[in-house]
Amino acid sequence: QVQLVESGGGLVKPGGSLRLSCAASGFAFSDYYMSWIRQAPGKGLEWVSYIRFSGNTVYYADSVKGRFTISRDNAKNSLYLQMNGLRAEDTAVYYCARDQDAFDFWGQGTMVTVSS
């Protein structure tokens, strides 16, 4: 069965960095687009970033452009999100999701807290 497991979240100071990982299993990872989506505490969903099969094409939300970098390693069935210059407003649960335009499978999420 399809499984997505995020890791790497935690508490970081403003201006700091974190790298999130998403381990995929149960499907041919290299055949699918992937996205990161986040949800601030008590708030709605915000799409963050997208990556195509080989990683040649990526998109970002304006709110994270220039600070976050999405990447993937198809040999390791893994998706990543490098987050630099973190701000308080980046505090959220970060989900990875399989992207078929609609997001048909989601991980359980990893919490990122940006606070001094």
Q: Pick from 68, 107, 110, 112: which binds other proteins (CB under 8 A)?
A: 107
Residue 46 within binding range of other proteins, rule CB under 8 A = yes
**Who's near 58: CB < 8 A, 6+ residues apart?**
49, 50, 51, 52, 70
Closer by beta carbon to other proteins, 37 or else 86 = 37
Q: Report residue 12 as tokens.
A: 């970081």
Angle at 94 between CA 47 and CA 74, to 5 degrees: 85
Taking alpha carbons only, the member of 5, 33, 11 closest to residue 112 is 11
Q: Pick from 50, 72, 86, 92: which binds other proteins (CB under 8 A)?
A: 50
Residue 109 within binding range of other proteins, rule CB under 8 A = yes
Residue 110 within binding range of other proteins, rule CB under 8 A = no
Residue 27 within binding range of other proteins, rule CB under 8 A = no
Q: Which stretch in 11-19, 57-65, 72-80, 83-91 sits in contact with other proteins by CB under 8 A?
A: 57-65
Q: Pick from 21, 69, 106, 111: which binds other proteins (CB under 8 A)?
A: 106
Tokens 């508490």 identify what position?
11
Give Cα separations from 6 to 23, 30, 32, 58 (angstroms).
6, 17, 17, 19
The binding site for other proteins (CB under 8 A) comprises 35, 44-47, 50, 59, 61-62, 95, 97, 100-104, 106-109
